[in-house]
Amino acid sequence: MVKSITIKLIILVGLINSYNAFSNVLEKDKDELEKEIKEYINHHVLDSYDFNLLSYTKDDGAKVYVGVPLPVLLWDKGLVVFSSSKLNHGKSIVQVGENYYKLYHNKIYKTDSSGTIFYDKNNHVANKSPVDFSMTKGVVSILLVSILMFVLFRNLAVSYKKNKMMASGIGRFFEPIVLYIRDEIAIPNIGQKKYKKYMSFLLTVFFFIWFCNIIGLTPLGINVTGNIAVTFCLALLTFIITTVSGTKDYWKHIFWMPGMPLPMKIIMAPIELLGVFIKPFTLMIRLYANISAGHIVMMTLISMIFIFRNLIGSSLSFMLAFFISIIEILVALLQAYIFTILSALYFGFAVEEHDH
């Protein structure tokens, strides 16, 4: 028992939360362990319905979760609200009125009273899934990051007035970054005349991605920017802003590239049009893939400590995991920077004025 708890603590320090894959390490053989780790990692990179910090298995085999249940909001011909603790990690069926809901593979499905899951020909779940607006772990993390950002930058803004045009406190750290985004990202890419309109978006997106990446590296193990829905939203906003602010010149360059022979113009138009959609798409995939891959690599390396279970292999894995975490801190900043500079670049293309 004591030994088991120590392992749990190491896992906590090593960024691992939620379902504990390694609880029965001593009893299980390696194949089973590896399978469990894989499942655990797959589970971790996804969103979850409750905010778990750690879990362990009692001596009698019952799993104990330490964390906060979050509200589940479903739209099923009317709003359905219940606590995520009722789902009991997929083990219980929740009855609301006449409807039954069950958590299956990280998704809530409508079932009958016994919780049967039907499959179609392609082995997909055939059960109906209600529209899900749950306050998941991801949503809570986004809210927390937003509140943190608001407090931080509101403080910075207020400190200017109090302190004779000088930032004070933690704002001193963030002020040069704000200036860097203005002077090195916005102005060179968008242009001196028009950059002001886009500053709010660029600054917000940069700090949002950065902070989310950083909290993803903490032992809380929240994977916000490694979630496709979040990156899709960010990329969609970039796409919308680019499209809305596109000048006549921009569209002309897409559909009828000036200064090119006619056949080239016909060939270029679909390519350029495709480029309009590919640009935000790559933004979305880049952020998602980098952050998810980072989390997966980190957790795999930490899991290796438990697979090797000897001094040399485990300590090597630990060292590797340690250095990868340091690299991940850099990647966290780099991905935020790349997203911001590419967004600025696309806005720059949209508002650019050519002189032919």
Q: Find out whether 265 and 256 touch, Cβ atoms under 8 Å.
A: yes
Q: Phi/psi at 20 (nearest 5 deg)?
A: -90, 115
Q: Which helix (H) or strand (E) holds 294?
A: helix 262-308
Q: List the interface residues with another protein, window 82-101 (CB under 8 A).
A: none
Confirm or reject binding of residue 110 to another protein (CB under 8 A): no
| 162 touches another protein by CB under 8 A | no
Instruction: Return d(Cα 50, Cα 68) in angstroms, integer.
Output: 6
Closest distance between another protein and the C-beta of residue 42, in Å? 10
- 221 touching another protein, by CB under 8 A: no
User: Contact with another protein (CB under 8 A): which of 142, 301, 304, 305?
Assistant: 142
For CA atoms 84, 86, 91, 94, the dihedral sign is: negative
55, 4 contact by CB (below 8 A): no
Within residues 286-315, the interface with another protein by CB under 8 A covers 286, 288-289
229 binds another protein (CB under 8 A): yes
Single-letter amino acid, residue 329? I
Q: Can residue 227 be called a binding residue for another protein (CB under 8 A)?
A: yes
- DSSP letter string, 29-63: -HHHHHHHHHHHHHHHTS--SEEEEEEEE-TTS-E
Question: Closest distance between another protein and the C-beta of residue 276, in Å?
Answer: 13
Q: Which is nearer to another protein, 277 or 322 (CB)?
A: 277
Interaction of residue 216 with another protein, rule CB under 8 A: no
Structure tokens at 321: 């995991």
Interface residue list for another protein (CB under 8 A): 46-47, 73, 131-136, 138-139, 142-143, 146, 149-150, 153-154, 156-158, 160-161, 165-166, 175, 178-179, 182, 184, 188-189, 196, 199-201, 203-204, 208, 227-230, 232-234, 236-237, 278, 281-282, 285-286, 288-289, 338, 341-342, 345
